[in-house]
Chains A and B, each alone.
Chain A
């Protein structure tokens, strides 16, 4: 007859020590009696009922005894009980200790909360943007073809006869389309995708209402059709009758054939409509990206064979010049990589920086806790002498850490929420930024991080306790002296903090220098601070020949505004990326290899308005009319490349528009695409002389009089445009300064985040140095008092203490420099004009930390130099 062990073990775990044997023995006795009387089955059931009925009240009692410390008189020779009881006791004690040291508690909580909040915020972003699946089934089979944005309708149609290896392929491009909600309403802009009919087959997502496009809807002559997003559907009233109804898009009536599911987006969340486009064999203009869904099993060698076949067919049909032969190196990029790849570097750099800051915070709090443990050395030694083991003392530290962790988790969650918003606005996330969202995953991360960080910081003091010698501590407590713990662990923590702070500072310094280098680049424009910019879109049904006249009307309307000195128009503004490359031939130079230059179709007032300087000849002006010879202005780079050592004025070029153009002037190089491109050949022609090429999208440029703020002109300009041309929608209104700032780009955005983190890291590092030095001084107080009494000069005391702090900082700086050399490559995609291994940045970081460290050590050092020996002796 065996008494079951499991229920007794469970019960034993929750009984106080003094009663365990007694209760277990009684249960055994009664179990045996019941087994005899009622059978083993009934006895076993009884035992389980006893145990399971006993555990809840015993757990409640454990909590109560832990909280109140109550121990029955009968049990006082053998106190204690379940581990939870002593842990709750320690929690309460820890809460009392923290309350009695508000400075220490607040500093520790705030420090951890900053590290935890920042890391959780960055984690929330990374999770939302990089770890969330795209909203397309089997997304890994979606790929973008090579040369994205450079395909023509003709090429797409040629390849469409055979898409072997792909289930479906679609061509698409982004376009801002004017939308009218009613016949009399003014147009508002909708970001749309203009596409071939098979786009949703490629993506594998169907509309929730209505249907997707049908195969023949991208043929010439098909009725215009549009699929709208769930968001736009709601904006248009959200009535099911809208499906099958019509909307006015781009000046044409489109039938709404479908509504996409909530949460669907392509290629980014700002797109709210997908419009099917008639594809024309004769259209050779190249603006489309191609995207395909690979057939199952087509990868590796089979995919390469498929792509090679496509390349061959392209070459058979089109005579590509060698410079841009599409058939030469066909390749595909996974869609996920195309959409999210550019976000990876800034997000991971931010997450890494936040992690570094969290490590610094942990080191700081660990040093603080070590200081607390040291100041309690006598108390702890007495406890251990009275029988407490190191496990129990460790539990006390863990209880304190748990409270700090929970408090910093709560504060960290608030910081994470705010930090998340800061990061979303500060980092170069582009249109996918809304995909990162505040959610419980981020707050859970904050809680986990806080607890892990707090428990991690408690381990060091706990280890210190395990090694302590109670007898020696008791013997030394009255006499002080340097026999006490040497503070090596705290020193190591400060070294770690300084190293990490140097790492962040070096990264920030690299970015600061990069941004300075970017700012130093001359974009070639005069006085950008006085220019306002308005992007407008005409409806597509405006005749091409009528567009220049509308542009003139818009310019005339804007010119009447007070404060406006000049107005101009271009179809592409400098500093906003590549685009509008057109072929060029030069009369008299038949051997010139086929090539392109940037082309800008502008109004006569454009050069003055935007600030492009004339170098030679003349600018374009109103006398250059449709019926006169077409005039072209070129920039220095074009002149240098195609007319080296000769005068380009009066020469003729061939743009392929029918007829020739004559060069009438040369202007300064302007950063027509990006800030860092260097001088790139470009040429300028008047809208009026090439009306057939005038786009619906234009940028109006206003130059303000000196003293006038261009941003203040924007509202009046909007109203003026609405009055002058109701069919024109204003897409965006900004200033040229803002465009320039945008062009400096991701480096500046990451810099602002990293600079903030660096400031925090330096502050925490300073706190660490200050704390350790203060603690060092306090422990050496008696020694220093004796030395001062014997005649040591206060300045020597200061030097001695500061030297110790300085040594820690120097060692930390050296380690941080090594780490920075290794890790700076993470930032290399944001650097311009500065190497990732830049001695100036590293030296600057080291000197900054050294200065801060010495200053932080100086405060306790000065206090030490003013010690009063009599007070020290009396306290000792």
Chain B
């Protein structure tokens, strides 16, 4: 028995949007406890995705996600007395990520790449 698909009022996440949100989640749970601020999110993306990411693209995407209500931000303290904008995924955002993953899993279900791989040059 397959699970019923969940309905979501939000538009599907863009690829980069999904990547940025996942990086926020991963960074938020980082052991050093510094939180998910812009530069740490960028670094996480670069390490995991294996490619260079522009800091402005990260901030612009986070702004867009916050405008959609999928991410929230607040000012946090830095050690040197300055402030940082620290991000967290909202419950709606978590739901969007879960929906995105479910869609991807449904797409992969039943897909057998072996014949395609064997036939390719």
Contact = CB atoms under 8 A, between A and B. Distances in A.
B68 to A, nearest CB: 10
A647 B34 CA distance: 125
Nearest to B71: A72
Nearest to B62: A72
B74 A68 contact: no
Contacts of B84: 22
Interface string A1-37: 0000000000100110011011101110010000000
A27 B43 CA distance: 12
Given A72-B73, A74-B74, A57 B57 contact: yes
A68 B63 CA distance: 12
Contacts of B64: 61, 64
Contact of B82 (A15, A21, A52): A21
Contacts of B54: 49-54, 57
B55 interface: yes
Interface in A96-128: none
A65 B57 CA distance: 15
A447 to B, nearest CB: 32
Contacts of B66: 70, 72-73
A796 interface: no
A81 to B, nearest CB: 10
Contacts of B75: 74, 77
A11 B56 CA distance: 8
A806 to B, nearest CB: 57
B67 interface: yes
A21 B74 CA distance: 16
B72 interface: yes
A60 interface: yes
A141 to B, nearest CB: 61
Contacts, number: 84
A73 B63 contact: no
A19 B59 contact: yes
A71 to B, nearest CB: 10
A480 B67 CA distance: 43
Contacts of B83: 22
A517 interface: no
Given A72-B66, A73-B74, A22 B60 contact: no
A55 interface: yes
A14 B85 contact: no
B56 A19 contact: no
Contacts of A18: 85
Nearest to B16: A57
A75 interface: yes
B73 A57 contact: no
Interface residues of A, number: 34
B60 A57 contact: yes
A18 B82 CA distance: 12
A65 B67 CA distance: 9
Contacts of B103: none
A58 interface: yes
Contacts of A74: 73-75, 85-86
B53, B63, B66, B83 — most chain A CB neighbours (10 Å): B63
A52 to B, nearest CB: 8
Contacts of A27: 39, 55
Contacts of B55: 23, 26-27, 50, 54
Contacts of A23: 38-39, 55, 59
B63 A65 contact: yes
Nearest to B66: A72
Contacts of B82: 21-22, 25
Which residue, of B52, B55, B72, B82, has the highest number of chain A Cβ atoms within 10 A? B55
Contacts of B53: 53
Indicate the member of B60, B72, B74, B82 with the most A CB atoms within 10 Å: B60
Contacts of A55: 56
Contacts of B100: none
Contact of B60 (A11, A60, A70, A77): A60
Interface in B65-98: 66-67, 72-75, 82-86
B61 interface: yes
A73 B72 contact: yes
Contacts of B38: 19, 22-23, 26
B63 A53 contact: no
Contacts of A11: 56
A665 B54 CA distance: 103
Given A30-B39, A55-B56, A57-B57, A68 B85 contact: no
Contact of A58 (B59, B73, B86): B59
Contacts of B57: 53-54, 57
A350 B66 CA distance: 58
B85 A58 contact: no
A28 to B, nearest CB: 11
B67 to A, nearest CB: 5
A65 B60 CA distance: 10
A64 B60 CA distance: 10
B39 A57 contact: no
Nearest to A52: B54
A51 B56 CA distance: 8
Contacts of B85: 18-19, 22, 72, 74-75
Contacts of B52: 46, 49, 53
Given A57-B54, A57-B61, A70 B67 contact: yes
Interface in B23-60: 37-39, 52-57, 59-60
Contacts of A64: 63-64, 67
Given A22-B82, A25-B82, A57 B72 contact: no
A64 B63 CA distance: 10
Nearest to B54: A53
A54 B75 CA distance: 22
Contacts of A19: 38, 59, 85
A51 to B, nearest CB: 8
Nearest to A49: B52
Contacts of A52: 54
A58 B74 contact: no
B56 A14 contact: yes
A54 B56 contact: yes
Interface string B93-120: 0000000000000000000000000000
Given A52-B54, A60-B60, A68-B67, 13 more contacts: A11-B56, A14-B56, A15-B56, A22-B84, A23-B39, A53-B52, A53-B54, A54-B56, A56-B56, A57-B59, A58-B59, A58-B60, A70-B66
8 contacts: A15-B59, A22-B82, A22-B83, A22-B85, A49-B54, A57-B56, A60-B60, A65-B63
Interface of A: 11, 14-15, 18-19, 21-23, 25-27, 30, 46, 49-58, 60-61, 64-65, 68, 70, 72-75, 77
